[in-house]
Structure 1
């Protein structure tokens, strides 16, 4: 968790002048939903973005399902 906090500060929060709690909440939500969970590479996804990992996973599973049929 500490690593995540360091990443979000370094990659996102430090770019903005924080106005209040609501502004911080919106910035954190935006970072997580639009970048961290979709675009940013993750080690547990074989160093791919979650979106790319899901596409590769679906492609592999669809091709193996068609072979099994």
Structure 2
């Protein structure tokens, strides 16, 4: 059974690409980098050792590292 309970929060990166609420999300593997599509590019986030409490739920913090562009 698959649950999509939020377990991660994405920190950093350009503010315009992702509103605050969509930065809290479910990540399948908390030890792997996360890649989020944003228009014609991808924003990349790496897992950190940091955790935060968000509305009673502990979330793993992922930190923005870089952007790549979608190949045409």
Structure (1/2) with the larger helix percentage: 1
TM-score (norm 2): 0.22
TM-score (norm 1): 0.22
Structure (1/2) with the larger strand percentage: 2
Largest Rg, 1 or 2? 1
